[in-house]
Amino acid sequence: MTMPVLVAPRNDAIDSRASQSILSAIVLYGTFGLLLFGPLAFGAVESWAIFTLEAGAALLFVLWAVWQAASGELRILGSPLFPPMLAFEALILVQLVSGRTSYRYVTGSSALLYCAYGLICFLCVQSLRRGCQIEVLAWLISCYGAAMAMFALIQGVASNGKLYWLRTPRLGGWIYGPYVNHNHYAGLMEMLLPIPLVAALAHSVPQPRRAAAGIAAALMATTIFLSGSRGGMLAFAVEMAILGAVLIRRGSSRTVALTLGAFLVVVVGMLTWLGGGELTSRIASVRPDVRSDVSGAMRLDIDRDGLQMFARKPVLGYGLGVFPTIYPQYRSFYTNVFVNQAHNDYVQLLVEAGALGFAVMLWFLGISFYGGIKKLNNWSKDPNGSVALAALLGITGILVHSFVDFNLQIPANAALFYVLCVVAAMKPRFGTFSRVRTRRHRPESSGLLSA
C-alpha cells in the first residue's frame, strides 16, 4: 500500500524573481532619486555634488548589470537617441586625443559628466517599462515640485540671503529655492511643471488626482513668475501656447479646455495675490536688477564675441567646458564681473564643440521631437501620449530659455533635460493604468517587457 508524500515546493525560482524585482526597483527609483537630488544640492554645480552624480550613476549601472546577471540573460533595450549621444561622446574623445581642446583637464572632466548623463539616460530606458512605474513617478515628481515651490515661496518671504538659511554663496547671486541663480530655478520648474499639468488634463487619471495635480502645477507655475526670471516667464508662455495648440489640433474635449483655463486663472490669481506691483515692474523692466550681474546688453556682447570665437575654430571648437577659461582673451568690453558662461547655450555649444557638435545637437533634438509628436494622438487617454506631451513641453521650455541663459550648463537641470528627451523619443511601452493593476499579480516568465 502506498501513501502520498507531501513535498514542499522549491522556492528558488520565486526567490530569484523577487531578487530581480528588488534590483530593478532599486535601479529605477535610484536613477530618479539622483535626478531629484541634483536640484537640492544647489543644482549639483559643486565638486562634491558632481562626484555624487557621477559615482551614483556608475553604481546604479553596476546594479543593473547584476540585475541582468540574476535574470540569466542580457536584455538591452535600445533608444533612437543612443546614436547621437555616442556621436557626441566620440567628438569629445577626438578633442582630447587630437589635442584640439584648449584645456585638456576641463574637457576631460566635462566628458566624465556627460558619461554620467549618458548612464542615467541608459538606465531610464532599461528600467522604465510599465505604466504603474510612470504613475508612481508622476506623483512623486509632482509632490517634489510642489514641495520645492512651497519652499521657494516661504524662502521669498523670510529670506536672509543664504541658501537654506544657512549658507552664503561665495560669489553672491539671486537666490531662489535651492539655486544661487533664480533663472536656474525657473528652468527646473519649466521641466517639472508639465508633468502635473498634463496629469490634470488627462482622462486616464482619476478626477480627484487630476484636481490635486492641477493645484501642484499652479503652485509651480506661480513661482516661475515670482522668481523674477524673464526667460522663465517667456518659456512658460511658449509652453502654454504649444499646449493650447495641441488641444486645438487634437480636438480635445471642452472639459480639458476648461481645466486648462481654470489652471491659468488660478495662476493669475496667485500671482496677483503674492506678486503685486513688484512682479509687474519686473516684467516691464529691461534694466538689470541690483542682484543680477549680467545685463541684457552684456549678454548680446557675449553672444557677438562667442560667434567671432566660433568663426576662428568652426569645426571642432575649443573643447568642451573651456568657455569660462578662454573667453577673457576674446572679450570685447570691460567688466569686473567674471563671465562664467555664455548665457546662451547655443552659442556656447558652437564655441566649445564647433559645427560638428551643433549638428549632433540638432540630430538629437530632431529625433526627440519626432518620436514624441508621433505619440500625441489620443494623448489624453493613452499614457504613452501623456508622457510624451509632458516631456515635449518641458524640453521646449528649456530650449526657449537657453537662448538667454545657461540652464544646460547646470548638471541637475541638464540631467533632467536629457532624461526628458529620452522619454519623449521612447517607443510606446506603457499600458493603461487600470490594465497594469489587473496584470501586476500575474506570473511572468522573465519579468521583462520589450520596447
Nearest to 292 by CA among 175, 444, 138: 175
What band does 37 get if pLDDT is binned at 50, 70 and 90? very high
What band does 352 get if pLDDT is binned at 50, 70 and 90? very high
Q: Which is it for the CA torsion 54, 58, 63, 67, positive or negative?
A: positive
Predicted confidence (pLDDT) per residue in 309-338, tens digit: 999 999 999 999 999 999 999 998 888 778
List residues bridging with 181 in a β-sheet.
Answer: 174
Predicted confidence (pLDDT) per residue in 152-162, tens digit: 999 988 888 88
The predicted pLDDT at position 287 comes to 47
Predicted confidence (pLDDT) per residue in 166-220, tens digit: 888 877 778 999 999 999 999 999 999 999 999 999 887 887 888 899 999 999 9
Cβ neighbours of residue 307 closer than 8 Å, sequence gap 6 or more: 347, 350
Long-range own/partner contacts, residues 290-295 (CB < 8 A, 24 or more apart): 291/172, 291/173, 291/174, 292/174, 293/172, 293/337, 294/337, 294/339, 294/343
Average pLDDT on 124-148 reads: 92
Average pLDDT on 364-378 reads: 94
Range in 10-14, 207-211, 351-355 with the lowest mean pLDDT: 10-14
- In eight-state DSSP terms, residue 138 is H
- Cell 539655486: give the residue: 179
The predicted pLDDT at position 166 comes to 87
Nearest to 250 by CA among 196, 203, 189: 203
List residues bridging with 179 in a β-sheet.
Answer: 176
**pLDDT greater than 50 at residue 374:** yes
The grid coordinates listed for 428 are 510606446
Average pLDDT on 32-39 reads: 96
> Average per-residue pLDDT in the chain?
86
What are the distances in angstroms from CA 234 to CA 79, 188, 218, 245?
31, 14, 16, 17
Contact between residue 122 and residue 420 where contact means Cβ atoms under 8 Å apart: no
The predicted pLDDT at position 254 comes to 74
Following DSSP, what letter does each residue of 30-66 receive, concatenated? HHHHHHHHHHHTTTT-SHHHHHHHHHHHHHHHHHHHH
The grid coordinates listed for 149 are 515651490
Predicted confidence (pLDDT) per residue in 381-415, tens digit: 889 999 999 999 999 999 999 999 999 999 999 99
List residues bridging with 174 in a β-sheet.
Answer: 181
The alpha carbon of 202 is separated from its chain's Cα centroid by a whole number of angstroms, namely 21
List residues bridging with 167 in a β-sheet.
Answer: 163
Predicted confidence (pLDDT) per residue in 210-266, tens digit: 889 999 999 999 999 999 899 999 999 999 999 999 988 876 667 787 888 888 898
Contact between residue 194 and residue 232 where contact means Cβ atoms under 8 Å apart: no
Following DSSP, what letter does each residue of 293-309 receive, concatenated? SS-HHHHHHHHHHHHHH
Please give the Cα distance from 221 to 214 (Å, whole number).
10
DSSP reduced 3-state for 356: helix
Following DSSP, what letter does each residue of 162-184 receive, concatenated? SBTTTB--TT--B-BTTBSBHHH
Give buried/exposed letters for 123-136 (b at 16+ CB in 10 A, else e). Answer: bbbbbbbbbbbbbe
The predicted pLDDT at position 292 comes to 52
Range in 80-89, 121-130, 252-261, 284-293 with the lowest mean pLDDT: 284-293
